[in-house]
Amino acid sequence: MDELIDLLPAGCVRLDARAADWREAIAVAGGLMVDAGFTTAEYTAEMIAGVEENGPYIVVAPGVAFAHARPSPAVRATGMSWVRLAEPVAFGHETNDPVTLVVALAATDSGAHTAAMASLARLLGDPAAAAALAAAPTPEALRTVLSGDEHSPAAAKPRADASSQHKILTVCGNGVGTSLFLKNTLEQVLDRWGWSAYVTVEATDTISAKGKASEAVALLTSREIARTLGDVGRPVKVVQDFTSTAEIDAVLRDTYDV
């Protein structure tokens, strides 16, 4: 949809790029954002440092890495880049390696890109759309596929408010990227269940999650971030594929013993 296309100019799309390893793959994605004026080179270093510190939690689905870091002075404007690799590279993820697609995000604040992330999560979770993105021959063709998201967040069902009885936290290292992927997929499942009026979902970072855990029924996150969280007094559920409604449906059923 428009919000996603607005953040991803054609100049920030690189198809069939080559990278020797995961650091170089992130560097290619970061370099596109530098060239577009979205970030400085320091932001690329911050994205790489995030993986070095927290592990490959940014590999949100089989073959897909979502590189990002916290909002910082290195971010000049909110924007994205898209790098499809000619040869896959390993990030060290237990189940989702190797990676062929690196999407990078730079955000000036935690709320500037929420609609775009919802749109992207739905597209990557749709097998037909994901196949079209993988086969797109040019940046313009890829952007055409991205603009065809029929699942506009504006048309979504009303979400639960902060006073709802139940809350689920989706957690990543920074609270602005992969946790939003997981949040949007979880909300799709809640909508299908008819539970969206009863459960609120909040995307957050590891530090905030520890303070908010007592408010939640459960925390959903990657295996790497689960290790970082440790025992927070609430169930921490590991999700391997952040775009899979089937996997998150199973996690939700386990959480509520359905």
- Residues forming the active site: 68
Is residue 76 classed as helix, strand or coil in its secondary structure? coil
Give the whole-angstrom CA distance, residue 189 versus residue 241.
Answer: 14
Give the whole-angstrom CA distance, residue 251 versus residue 135.
Answer: 31
**What are residue 106's DSSP bridge partners?**
79
First to last CA, the chain: 34
The answer to whether the CB of 22 falls within 8 A of the CB of 51 is yes
The answer to whether the CB of 145 falls within 8 A of the CB of 136 is yes
Angle 206-55-230 from CA coordinates, rounded to 5°: 40
